[in-house]
Amino acid sequence: MTAEHPARRPGGRTARVRAAVHQAVIDLLHEEGWDDLNVALVAERSGVHQTTIYRRWGTLAGLIDDVVTERLTRSSPVPDTGTLRGDLEAYALQVADDVSGPLGPVFVRAAMIGTRDGEETTPRQIYLLERAVQLQAMLDRARDRGENPPTLLELMEIVQAPLYFHAIFFGRPAGTDHTLTLVDRLLALTGKS
């Protein structure tokens, strides 16, 4: 019922504009691909005026950054299954899904946009920092339960990096079995299995 009748609040129109523009970006990326995306097309598809888009997001890169950040935040809560292995497996499958779906290349490209030299900190960079804090908390919960978790860097290098590598260079998903093998490797390396 809350979902059907969200509370009215200041910013409701702003939120609707954001949702329409985000959906237009996602639809256009599915239909047209990255190279043909531009602010004029997004404006036409969303019904939101170009000047509004430029005022709010600055550039197309800023808009993409916001779309990716919002979707990552929404689609991938950090797991809390009660066991280290359960958390790591759920997290690995999430990452595999994020980077291998239709929007996978968008996520990776957006990540690269976010790391251009000399730019100020983007919302996506802030998200990545928040995400790192959440993942560290997931590992800390394992330690608090008496388990012996890997470091965050080990998790990123041994599980996350290969999943991105598969998506970028092999252009296809790592697959569920192989994704779980990466978790086995992480636990074996850090002496927990």
With CB under 8 A as the contact rule, which of the stretches 44-52, 69-77, 142-150, 185-193 interacts with a second copy?
Answer: 185-193
CA distance 38 to 176: 35
Find the shortest distance in angstroms from Cβ 168 to a second copy.
6
Site string for a second copy, 150-179 (x = CB under 8 A): ------xxx-xxx-xx--xx-x--------
Q: In degrees, to the nearest 5, what angle opens at C-alpha 98 toward C-alphas 102 and 73?
A: 120
Which of 115, 148, 151, 176 contacts a second copy by CB under 8 A? 115
With CB under 8 A as the contact rule, which of the stretches 2-10, 17-25, 71-79, 113-121 interacts with a second copy?
Answer: 113-121
Q: Using alpha carbons, select from 71, 61, 86 the residue that is nearest to residue 142.
A: 86
Window 32-61: residues binding a second copy (CB under 8 A): 33
Running DSSP on this structure, what letter comes out for residue 193? -
Residue 128 touching a second copy (CB under 8 A): yes
Find the shortest distance in angstroms from Cβ 144 to a second copy.
27
Q: What token pair was written down for 106?
A: 């968008």
Find the shortest distance in angstroms from Cβ 91 to a second copy.
16
Radius of gyration of the chain (CA): 19
| Nearer to a second copy among residue 20 and residue 54 (C-beta) | 54
Residue type, 174: A
What is the four-CA torsion angle of 115, 160, 26, 121, rounded to 10 degrees? -20
At a CB cut-off of 8 Å and minimum separation 6, what does 164 contact?
Answer: 95, 99, 108
Q: Provide the binding-site residues for a second copy, judged by CB under 8 A.
A: 33, 105, 108-109, 111-112, 115-117, 128, 156-158, 160-162, 164-165, 168-169, 171, 182, 185, 188-189
